């Protein structure tokens, strides 16, 4: 029963993530104004806006004009619901679960916005920085996952400065922007949440995944090494990989 509740709760926040993903890049408020069909512009009724269920019942089409609904809406809602269930399975009814719920929604929004628009919104990174730092003052949190406030503070600054230096050096050498400050802020978020020790591993994992993913296009000469790619999603993937191997990494370092 608890898993069903968590699944529904996750799908609702996945629906909110969709609102953020589609409104934030256009500077539209995410808390005012009803959702509407992008084709016919008519407002979506509440019974046509039930996470996951409405998409299935409407057969992925608008109830007013029958325009096709992007499958990405369903994917985001389902993904958020499954992530919430997985987090609840690992940590149960704890503050750790709540914190990871918050972080996962932030990551989902950043992932899809950066993937399409090549931007990482401050509206998401700044609150995540604040939450990541403030939680480090709670001595009862999982010490294997979350750092104390000193390590958190160092991690936040280290993450930002590292990307900033990469941007600065690359621009000096090539006279073009290699990365964006949004990436620096995202890595700062990760540093605030998981400490300075996470930064080199997240950079390594994210760079490796990025290289593997673009390698086919490099071989086919569809892209060059200087081609622009959204790096935010790779930083998020790198962070997830780090968390999966967190215990092994810290045991190895000790």
Looking at 11-15, 25-29, 169-173, 203-207, which range is the least confident one? Answer: 169-173
Claim: this prediction has a pTM higher than 0.85: yes
Structure token digits, residue 130: 């604040």
pLDDT number for residue 168: 85
pLDDT of residue 179: 72
Q: Which pLDDT score is estimated for 28?
A: 87
The residues that bridge with 43 in the sheet, in sequence order, are 36
Q: What is the mean pLDDT of residues 67-79?
A: 90
37 pLDDT band, cuts 50/70/90, is low
Higher pLDDT, 249 or 15: 15
Percent of the chain's residues with pLDDT above 70:
93
* pLDDT for residue 156 is more than 80: yes
Q: What is the pLDDT of residue 178?
A: 62
pLDDT at 18 over 90: yes
Of 48, 52, 42, residue with least CA distance to 10: 52
Average per-residue pLDDT for the chain = 89
Whether the Cβ atoms of residue 224 and residue 218 lie closer than 8 Å to each other? yes
**Angle (CA) 86 21 105, round 5°:** 25
**The predicted structure's pLDDT at residue 151:** 95
Which is higher by pLDDT, 238 or 139? 238
Decide: 117 and 232 in contact? Cβ < 8 Å: no
pLDDT tens for residues 47-61? 767 889 988 888 778
Residue position matching structure tokens 């968390």: 243
Q: Token digits for 158?
A: 């280290």
> What pLDDT is stored for residue 161 in this prediction?
95
- DSSP string spanning the chain? -HHHHHHHHHHHHHHHHHHHHHHGGGT--SSSS--B-TTT-PBPPGGG--TTHHHHHTTTB-TTT-PBPPHHHHHHHHHHHHHHHHHHHHH-SSHHHHHHHHHHHHHHHHHHHHHHHS---HHHHHHHHHHHHHGGG-TTS-TTTS--HHHHHHHHHHHHHHHHHHHHHHHHHHSS--S-HHHHHHHHHHHHHH-TTHHHHHHHHHHHHHHHHHHHHHHTTSS-TTS----HHHHHHHHHHHHHTHHHHHHHH-
Predicted pLDDT at 169: 86
pLDDT of residue 62: 73
| Backbone angles phi and psi of 43, in degrees to 5 | -65, 145
pLDDT band at 174 (very low <50, low <70, confident <90, very high): confident
């Amino acid at each position: 029963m608890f898993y069903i509740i968590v699944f529904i709760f996750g799908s609702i926040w996945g629906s909110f993530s969709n609102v953020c993903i589609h409104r934030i890049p256009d500077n539209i408020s995410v808390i005012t104004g009803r959702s509407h069909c992008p084709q016919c512009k008519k407002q979506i009724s509440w019974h046509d806006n039930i996470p996951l269920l409405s998409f299935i019942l409407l057969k992925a089409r608008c109830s007013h004009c029958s325009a096709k609904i992007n499958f990405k809406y369903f994917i985001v809602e389902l993904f958020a619901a499954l992530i919430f269930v997985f987090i609840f399975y690992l940590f149960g009814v704890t503050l750790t679960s709540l914190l990871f719920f918050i972080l996962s929604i932030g990551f989902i929004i950043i992932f899809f916005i950066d993937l399409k628009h090549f931007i990482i919104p401050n509206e998401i990174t700044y609150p995540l920085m604040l939450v990541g730092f403030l939680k480090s003052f709670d001595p009862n949190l999982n010490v294997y996952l979350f750092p104390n406030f000193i390590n958190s503070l160092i991690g936040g600054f280290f993450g930002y400065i590292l990307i900033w230096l990469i941007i600065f050096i690359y621009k000096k050498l090539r006279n073009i922007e290699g990365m964006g400050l949004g990436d620096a802020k995202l890595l700062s978020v990760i540093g605030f949440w998981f400490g300075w020790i996470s930064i080199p591993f997240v950079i390594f994992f994210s760079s490796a995944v990025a290289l593997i993913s673009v390698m086919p296009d490099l071989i086919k000469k569809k892209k060059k090494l200087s081609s622009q790619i959204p790096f935010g999603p790779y930083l998020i993937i790198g962070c997830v990989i780090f968390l999966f191997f967190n215990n092994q990494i810290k045991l190895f370092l000790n």
